Structure 1
Amino acid sequence: MDGPLADVARRWTALGASDPMWAALTDSGRGGQWDAGEFLRTGRAEIDAVLDLLRRRGCTPVLGTALDFGCGPGRLTAGLAAAGFERVIGVDVSPTMLEKAREVLPTELADRCEFVLNTATDLSVVPTDSVDLVYTCRVLQHMPPTLFRGYLREFMRIVRPGGLAVFQVPAGPAPGLAGAPVRLLPAPVLTRLREGMQMHSASPAEVSRLIADAGGVTVAIEEDRSAGPRWSSHLYVTQAR
């Protein structure tokens, strides 16, 4: 493994060793302040909200196999299993994040969750047409465009025909004063302020075009706040043809 993915892996392996739950969800303070139970409850609440959105958009997924891309400490992996998916695969580039995920996973969900280390720029660890739902949030935003474009194509490959890939991507800095620091400060300064977490964005037009080129269709583009107040962000509901 080399190039941009190696940089991502080093950064997130270090964060996984120091404070994995905070790195995955910075709503709580730095320094191990997350309670594991509360951390996992936020994942179940997020998954419940996503499934409700999909129902309202007329595309309820089959509760078969789900993939949590960039699973980190397993917050959403556990949430997907608790919501009723028969099998959930959590994929991450960081062994330290996966170690934490296995540690905090509730015993009653262990037989339905699998954590896989993936150090490739594709998802060849997952067979074609084998997944009913891909979900990822607060992950693609930390990947350089060359990486996240490739993973979007892979989402469309691994999802069964009619299956769904739901993912979040920032569109750019928020308008007005909220996004001013992102527009004005040099990228290296912003990365240091975020303790090494880089941020990247793509326009809705670009994302929709990538999905179409990969053989999918964009069902809905929803406003999203996962990237924080300094970014305009969207949640994409996409479907494999």
Structure 2
Amino acid sequence: MSVRHTINTAVNKTLRPTGFQLVRGHSADPAISAFLPAKRIVKQADRAGQSVGDFLDSYSAEPGATAETVEAMLELSGLTTAERVCEIGPGSGRYSTRILSALRPGSYEVYETAPDWIAYLRRELPGLVFQPADGKTLGSTPSASVDLVHTHKLLSYIPFATALGYLDEMARVVRSGGTVAFDMVTDDCLDDSTTKVWLTEPDRMTIYSVAPRAWVSGFLAQRDLALVGSRFVPLSGGRTELLVFRRN
């Protein structure tokens, strides 16, 4: 074990409660999920002659996946406008940009734990409201206060218990008639072709967490959220399922 690794491990242990970390593309700390570093992704996107959002679509899903996801979310929810939106883990802002354009909200608050992407978002989308992020709650957002709370390409990468905590928080902060939307690798995503890929590359596929779709729907139903629709979303190595709920 190198001296640098020892130091980084010690620092990350200290920083963990704040939701921040030292990284070199990924973290060896099992309590902190890996993420794509902003500097490298921006450079690769520039080299490819693409926007960061388009590059990430090609890198982790397929071209046009972000636009199709946002269109499906808006279609299923029926949203045409929103006063207040909350997004968990916006990263590059590829979903944020499209939601801002479509709904023109008065306030768009985000919870992001990656310092490099926060710096990027502050430059690219200066109108965002950055809330203190602890990697598990939406503590700065009042209950029943937002028209839309959403997250994409996040819940499938974190421990299921942490994902449940976020779902509980999303149910708390959405107002009556508001929308909760997210994607997860549900059991319905595991068709034959996906299963074959996972069996072929088990080490790579351990980054994903699988959620029981019926149980998650029941969990949110107990919090007065009704499932209004879903769509499958492409993902490297398979697919996730976009689930859209409305508070009664």
TM-score w.r.t. the length of structure 2 is 0.72
CA distance in 2, matches of 1:18, 1:190: 23
Alignment pair present for 1:90 and 2:110 = yes
Any residues of structure 2 matched to 1:85-164 within 5 Å, and which?
85-105=105-125, 110=126, 112-164=127-179
* 1:67 Cα deviation from its structure 2 partner: 1.3
Q: Secondary structure at the match of 2:139?
A: coil
CA distance change for structure 1 residues 79 and 42 in 2, over 3 Å: closer, same or farther?
Answer: farther
Q: 1:38 aligns with which of 26, 34, 51?
A: 51
Aligned partner of 1:28 in structure 2 is: none
CA distance change for structure 1 residues 125 and 61 in 2, over 3 Å: closer, same or farther?
Answer: farther
Whether the 8 Å contact between 1:171 and 1:232 is mirrored in structure 2 is: no
With 89-98 and 154-163 compared, the bigger mean Cα shift is at 89-98
Whether the 8 Å contact between 2:66 and 2:94 is mirrored in structure 1 is: no
CA distance in 2, matches of 1:37, 1:77: 18
Aligned partner of 1:205 in structure 2 is: 214
Q: Matched residue pairs, number?
A: 213
Any residues of structure 2 matched to 1:67-78 within 5 Å, and which?
67-78=86-97
Q: 1:179 aligns with which of 174, 179, 195?
A: 195
Structure 2 letter corresponding to 1:76: Y
Whether the 8 Å contact between 2:171 and 2:225 is mirrored in structure 1 is: yes
* 1:52 Cα deviation from its structure 2 partner: 4.3
CA distance in 2, matches of 1:215, 1:203: 19
CA distance in 2, matches of 1:100, 1:211: 33
Q: Which has the larger radius of gyration?
A: 2
Q: Which runs of 5+ in 2 are unaligned?
A: 1-15, 21-28, 57-63
Whether the 8 Å contact between 1:75 and 1:101 is mirrored in structure 2 is: no
Aligned partner of 1:19 in structure 2 is: 40
Q: Secondary structure at the match of 1:19?
A: helix
* 1:19 Cα deviation from its structure 2 partner: 2.9
Structure 2 letter corresponding to 1:149: L
CA RMSD, 1 decimal: 3.2
Q: Secondary structure at the match of 1:33?
A: helix
* 1:60 Cα deviation from its structure 2 partner: 2.0
Percent identity over paired residues:
20
* 1:38 Cα deviation from its structure 2 partner: 2.0
Alignment pair present for 1:235 and 2:246 = no
